[in-house]
Structure 1
Amino acid sequence: MHVGILVKEFPPNVIGGTETQTRRMASELQQRGHEITVYTKSYGDSEPHSDAPFDLVRIPNWRYSDFTSTMTFVLAVTIYLLRDSRQLDVLQCMMIYPNGFVGYIVSLATGLPYFAWIRGGDFYFMKENPAKRWTMKRVAEDTLVLVQAENIRADVRGEFPDARLAVLGNGVDIPAEMADGDAVIYVGRLKEQKGVEHLLHAMEGFDDRLLVVGDGPRRSELESLAVSLGVNAEFVGEVEPEAVSSYLLESRVFVLPSVAGEGLPNAMLEAMAHGIPVVATDVAGVGNVVENGETGFVVDPGDRPALRNRLKSLLDDEKLRSRMGRQAREYVEERHSWDRIESALSAYYERLTSSSG
């Protein structure tokens, strides 16, 4: 089946959760027999040659500002998809806004089957904007919308009661090697909603090493805070997605201290696949994956004492870490292997194309 995948940003220009997941997913789907074409932004001269196994169409846009870049991309990619609609069997829109609305317009004009996949921030951070909310409502009531966890489905259903929703999480590679390190690790952007300052405060007085893998606007502030608190933190910076595994292998507990807006973080699933127990805050899809007391611990966002206590209990108890880490890996193997994700997506493709015919 010829599947178009629409994603606004793409590696290596942007290395976020959605972008990394989309690249890996496109490769896995292509290798499993689908014909994949990814539509994404062009970055002009900063665009490296792609050796991906799938077709990659870079869409021109005016990068004067984030707004103009997004709006000109939306206009241009709509034209490209109208042109290519007869070649595609189905369009997979990564994020309900703005990509899902592009799919909605193209489908109205051509009949091309499409669906949207809410990734987290595209719903939680945009639903209060009246214009964006209107576009999301059109999509949610028109076609299948995938979400990454049951409690995200409940949140979306609360906003759009007539939405056609199904749950499908991210895919992840299952490594042959289990982690056997000594560090606490955080992997992700260094921005306000990630709550990294709560992790630093929770680790005040700990001798354990903290690996902070990622970059963002709060890096300097967080580095200074770590020094003032006496936390033994190493700020690694942004690394290629393929390099994250090497840092996970150095670790024994993964912490996700977010205060808002997570979908289903790739890095958390990767940590679990490495047999690392998780301490995470109960935001969006996280609480459905981290089974409290089984694969890790879940605490309330911003609750530093609870974060500290749960982290300390894992660091102090090797048997507990081992049990939870083993169960975390088993959970990911069962629910997030690429075989399972591809099988589910193939079923959705078949359902959408057969119903449109």
Structure 2
Amino acid sequence: MTIRICITSLEYPPEVGGVGESVHRIAHMMLELGYEVHVAVFHSKQRKFVAGETQRARIETVDRDGVLVHRLYPPARSSEPIMQDFLSEVYSQLKILHQRYNYNLFHAFFINETGFITTLLAREQNVPVINSIRGSDLHKHIFNAKQHGQTVWILENSDWVTFVSRDLQTRGRILAPSINDKSSAFWNSIAPIDFSALPSPIAPSQLRGTVIGSVGRFRDKKGIEYLMEACGKISADVDLTLLLIGDFADRERAYWQQEVQNSGLGDRLIVTGLVSRETALAYLPILDIFAIPSLHDGCPNAMLEAMLAGKAIVGTKVDAIGDILENEVDSLLVNPASAEELAIALQQFALQPELRQKLGLAARKKVMEQLTPAVEQANWQIVYQQVLESSKPIVVAANSISPKLAVANSI
């Protein structure tokens, strides 16, 4: 009998976002293992409604390379929808999908909104449910007092909870001690990339000296202000360009414009603006140093891509950045929110090209051996099988990383 699973998410390609990329990757992993895979995409509360615009509820379903993707559109009866009404409607649409397809397992990505609706329905229908914590759901949303009780309830009522870092798993276990025996942490994976096959980006003519770069949608958690300050500290001694591949979050734009001015970097700081993932990848080979100064960040794909490119990485000791990278082995690691430590590490790399090459090659070796899709797929296969066969104990290693095991990146 084919097992039918429903993964729920707030995003899925072609929508841009790290969670969407992960859901796409994992959906196809499970498809390869013989599962019938459905993805239900909730349209989050951030979706804008045009004044006066109304619409009836609908579910748009499309087969995307073997995965049935259902996009849920709740009714818009008012230009100012009430959140509880919105979530209630999404719940009803997910229930319609379950009545239509009779899922054997639910798997929710991101605990707020998605996790609550999915877990509530799964419990009512007596269907096992996995919740996957990705980062901000426990790093930021847990500090909303209104969401605290709901978050704990979701954790406690999950059949299994997965995390992408030790930090997140520790916090989850503190909030809900009952998940100690039904949770595991393992990293995202990444497939090899042929950077030479990518079209060369139009490198700005202002690039000069040591090129320090970072990639992403720059917002609060990324710690970019400390990177700008650090580059400003060493700019008198190091000829450099700080290349930010991406753009600042719109709602924080005034803050970031102020930080750009305060950095004193002038034309040594270049912000590309929003670019496609392909273009962002094409920029990586021209960097001398990849910086990821995050304050918290789950398991960022941008770091894995930089490792594949063999870049010298300066990162912070947070989440999977600190789990995966080793200081002075395959990277230089610093404490978060420390422009002083960032400046020292950046200057060390800038003045020692041989060290950049050595640690960059070590990072590439690690990602090619320990963070492959096959390793992540093996982890998901174990979790899925044993949640579905709940009488068996989970065997995912809870507190160690060993590249020699089938679950090589379990934490």
1:169 aligned partner? 187
CA distance in 2 between partners of 1:129 and 1:200 (Å) = 30
Q: How does 1:243-254 map to 2 (within 5 A)?
A: 243-254=279-290
Which has more radius of gyration? 2
CA distance in 2 between partners of 1:304 and 1:239 (Å) = 27
Structure 1 residues 308 and 51: alpha-carbon distance in aligned structure 2, compared to 1, 3 A threshold: farther
CA distance in 2 between partners of 1:64 and 1:285 (Å) = 42
Q: Any idea what the Cα deviations from partners look like across 1:236-285, whole Å, max 9, x if unmatched?
A: 122223332111122122111223x3211111111112211321222333
CA distance in 2 between partners of 1:293 and 1:154 (Å) = 26
* Match among 142, 146, 168 for residue 152 of structure 1: 168
TM-score (norm: length of structure 1): 0.87
- Residue 175 of structure 1 aligns to a residue in which SS? coil
- Runs of 5+ in structure 1 lacking a partner? none
Q: How does 1:1-357 map to 2 (within 5 A)?
A: 1-13=3-15, 15-31=16-32, 33-42=34-43, 52-53=64-65, 54-61=67-74, 68=81, 71-72=84-85, 74-85=87-98, 86-142=101-157, 143-163=159-179, 164-177=182-195, 183-204=211-232, 205=235, 206-215=238-247, 216-217=249-250, 218-219=252-253, 221-222=255-256, 225-226=259-260, 229-231=264-266, 232-259=268-295, 261-355=296-390
Q: Which amino acid aligns with 2:106?
A: L
Root-mean-square deviation (CA), in Å?
A: 3.2
Structure 1 residues 276 and 350: alpha-carbon distance in aligned structure 2, compared to 1, 3 A threshold: same
CA distance in 2 between partners of 1:210 and 1:67 (Å) = 42
- Residue 131 of structure 1 aligns to a residue in which SS? helix
8 Å Cα contact 1:94/1:100 also seen in 2: yes
CA distance in 2 between partners of 1:291 and 1:66 (Å) = 50
Structure 1 residues 287 and 70: alpha-carbon distance in aligned structure 2, compared to 1, 3 A threshold: farther
- Residue 134 of structure 1 aligns to a residue in which SS? helix
8 Å Cα contact 1:41/1:73 also seen in 2: no
Q: CA deviation at 1:296?
A: 1.0
Q: Which moved more, 1:308-317 or 1:50-59?
A: 50-59
8 Å Cα contact 2:61/2:68 also seen in 1: no
Q: CA deviation at 1:148?
A: 0.6
Q: Which amino acid aligns with 2:4?
A: H
Q: CA deviation at 1:199?
A: 0.8
Q: CA deviation at 1:351?
A: 0.9
Q: CA deviation at 1:134?
A: 1.4
- Runs of 5+ in structure 2 lacking a partner? 51-59, 204-209, 393-411
Q: Any idea what the Cα deviations from partners look like across 1:5-28, whole Å, max 9, x if unmatched?
A: 101233444x22212222333344
